[in-house]
Structure 1
Amino acid sequence: MPRTYAAVSNKGGAGKTTLVTLIAGEYALRGERVLLVDADNRQNLSGWWRLCAEKANVPDNIELTQASTQRSIEQAIDNLGKAFDLVVIDAPGIDSSLQTAIIRSAELVISPIQPAIKELEAAGQAVAAVNEINDRYGLSITHFNVRTRISVPGRNLEAYRYIRPFVAGLVAAEYRTGLLDTELFERNIYREIQNGLGTLQMQDLTDPVRKARLEVHQLVDEIEQRRAAAELEGAA
C-alpha cells in the first residue's frame, strides 16, 4: 500500500495546493510514483494540472484524480493508489465529513501556516481534528505544521513570532503535532508554477529556482525524518 499524506487547513487560501505541488514534484524527482487527489471543491490542483496538460508540462511520475465523496477517496487510495508509492490529498478548506474521511485515511497530515492570526486558528483546528480522530478510532496519525509565505520583514510580525510557542503549547497539552523547522518563503516561482509550468523541479535552474529547490528538498527531507521518528515513538 502507498503512504498517504494529506494537506489540511480549515481556511481557504492557506497554501495547501502550493504545498502539495511543491512536495509532489520533489518526491517524483526522487523516483517515487505520486498520485495527487484533488478533494477540494475549489479544484485549484485540478486547474493547475489542466493548464500543465494544455502547455505540455505534465510532470513525470505524477498523476492526478479528483474525489468529492468519502467513497471516491477510499477508491482512489485502495484502487488507484496501488500503482503508486505516495498518495497526496489536497483536502477541502472547511471542516466537513469529507475532511474527516481524508484525515482518517492518512498516516501524515500537514497544515500550512502563514504569519496571521486566522492562519494560527485554522492550524489549531486541524490539530484538534487529527487528535480527535486518533482518539475516536484508536489511530496514530502524525500531524506537522509548516510555515509558508514567509518573508524577511514578516519575521518581525507578532503573528510570526507566536507560531512556535503556539505549537509548543499544543505539544505541551499532549496533542500529536509538531512544527517543522523548514520554512517556505514567499517566492514568485511558487506562484508562477500554478500557471501550468509543471513542477518546481522542472524549471530551468536560475538562481531563484535553485534557492526554491533547496528549500523544498530540505522540507521533504525533514518530513521523512520527522515522520520516521514519530513512527518509532508511536511503536515504543
Structure 2
Amino acid sequence: MPRRICAISGKGGAGKTTVIILVAGEYAIQGKKVLLIDADPRQNLAEWWKRCEAKDNLPANIELHSAATQRSIETVLADQDGVYDVILMDSPGVDSVIRDTIIRNCDLVLTPIQPNQDEIKAAGEAATITADIGDRQRRTIPHLNVVTRVALPGRALEAYRLIRPFIANLRDNGYESTLMETEFTERNCYREIRNGLGTLQMLELTDPVMKGRAEVTAFVAELDRHLAANREKVGNV
C-alpha cells in the first residue's frame, strides 16, 4: 500500500508545490517509485514537469499525472495502487469536490506556512477541513504544518513567533494538527529547481545544495515517523 500524502493551503504562494518536489526527490533518490498528482487548477507541478522535460531533466523514479476531476483522481488512485511506493498530491486550495476527494484518499495532509498572518489563518482552515473529512470517514487524518521560506530576519517577526502557539491551540481544541520540527529555509536552490532543473537531489553538490539536501532528508525522516505512527494507530483500532 503506497504512502498517500497531499498538500493543501488556501493561500497561494505558500510553497506547497516546492515542498512536494523536494519530498518527491528525496523519496526517489531512496529508490522509491513516486507518483505526483497535480490537481491544483494553477498546475504549477505540471508546469515544472514540462520545464524539466524541455531541458531533459526529468527525474528518475518519478511520474506525473494531472487530474482535473473527481473521477480522474479516483481512477488514477485505483489504477496505480500497488504500483508506486509514494503518491504525492497537490490539492486545490479552494473549497471543492476535488480537494475533498484528495484529502479523503490520503494518509496525511501537509500545509506549508510562511511567517505571516494570512498563512497562519490558512493553516487553521486546513486543519478544520481535514478534521471534518476525517470525522465523516470515522478516522483521524494527521495534519502536519511545515514552516517554509524562512530567512534569518523572518525568525524575529511576530508572526513567526505566533506559529507554534497557534498550532498548539489547534491541538488543545481537539485538532490532530502538528508543527513539524524541520523548517525549510529560504534557499536559491529551492527556487532554481522550479525552472526545469529537476529535483534538488539532481543538482551539483555545492555547499548550499548540501545544506538544502540535509534539510530535506531531515524533513522526510520526520514525515516517515508520522506516517508510521499513524499506521500503527490505525492498526490498533
Interval of TM-score (by shorter of Structure 1 and Structure 2): over 0.9
- Counterpart amino acid of residue 99 in structure 1: R
- 1:27 is matched with 27
Mapped to 2, the partners of 1:67 and 1:180 lie a distance apart of 28
Q: Does residue 59 of structure 2 align to residue 93 of structure 1?
A: no
Cα shift readout 1:121-153 (whole Å, capped 9, x = no counterpart)? 111100000000111121221110000000111
Alpha-carbon distance, 1:204 to partner:
0.4
| Kept after mapping to 2: 8 A contact 1:9/1:126 | yes
Alpha-carbon distance, 1:2 to partner:
1.6
- Counterpart amino acid of residue 62 in structure 2: I
- Counterpart amino acid of residue 127 in structure 2: V
- 1:5 is matched with 5
Q: Which secondary structure does the structure 2 equivalent of 1:186 belong to?
A: coil
Q: Which secondary structure does the structure 2 equivalent of 1:144 belong to?
A: strand
Mapped to 2, the partners of 1:220 and 1:233 lie a distance apart of 20
- Counterpart amino acid of residue 5 in structure 2: Y
User: Kindly, what percent of the aligned residue pairs are identical?
Assistant: 52
- 1:80 is matched with 80
Mapped to 1, the partners of 2:57 and 2:80 lie a distance apart of 22
Alpha-carbon distance, 1:69 to partner:
0.9
- Counterpart amino acid of residue 16 in structure 2: K
Alpha-carbon distance, 1:31 to partner:
0.8
After TM superposition, the structure 1 stretch with the greater mean CA deviation from structure 2, 206-215 or 70-79, is 70-79
Mapped to 1, the partners of 2:8 and 2:187 lie a distance apart of 22
- 1:38 is matched with 38
Q: Which secondary structure does the structure 2 equivalent of 1:83 belong to?
A: coil
| Kept after mapping to 2: 8 A contact 1:37/1:87 | yes
- Where do 1:146-157 residues align within 5 Å? 146-157=146-157
Q: Does residue 86 of structure 2 align to residue 50 of structure 1?
A: no
| Kept after mapping to 2: 8 A contact 1:35/1:81 | no
- 2:230 is matched with 230
- 1:172 is matched with 172
Alpha-carbon distance, 1:18 to partner:
0.2
TM-score norm. by structure 2 comes to 0.97
Cα shift readout 1:15-43 (whole Å, capped 9, x = no counterpart)? 11000000000000111100000001111
Cα shift readout 1:63-96 (whole Å, capped 9, x = no counterpart)? 0000011111111211134311111000012121
| Kept after mapping to 1: 8 A contact 2:14/2:119 | yes
| Kept after mapping to 2: 8 A contact 1:111/1:123 | yes
| Kept after mapping to 1: 8 A contact 2:107/2:227 | no
Alpha-carbon distance, 1:226 to partner:
2.2
Q: Which secondary structure does the structure 2 equivalent of 1:146 belong to?
A: strand
Mapped to 1, the partners of 2:75 and 2:5 lie a distance apart of 15
After TM superposition, the structure 1 stretch with the greater mean CA deviation from structure 2, 8-17 or 159-168, is 8-17
- 1:160 is matched with 160
Mapped to 2, the partners of 1:175 and 1:140 lie a distance apart of 9
Alpha-carbon distance, 1:156 to partner:
0.5
Mapped to 1, the partners of 2:225 and 2:203 lie a distance apart of 26
- Where do 1:173-212 residues align within 5 Å? 173-212=173-212
Mapped to 2, the partners of 1:210 and 1:161 lie a distance apart of 28
- Counterpart amino acid of residue 204 in structure 1: E
Alpha-carbon distance, 1:98 to partner:
1.1
| Kept after mapping to 2: 8 A contact 1:107/1:140 | no
Alpha-carbon distance, 1:12 to partner:
1.2
Q: Does residue 68 of structure 2 align to residue 68 of structure 1?
A: yes
Alpha-carbon distance, 1:3 to partner:
1.6
| Kept after mapping to 2: 8 A contact 1:7/1:109 | yes
Q: Does residue 131 of structure 2 align to residue 131 of structure 1?
A: yes
Mapped to 2, the partners of 1:141 and 1:197 lie a distance apart of 33
What RMSD over aligned residues (CA atoms) do the two structures have, in Å?
1.1
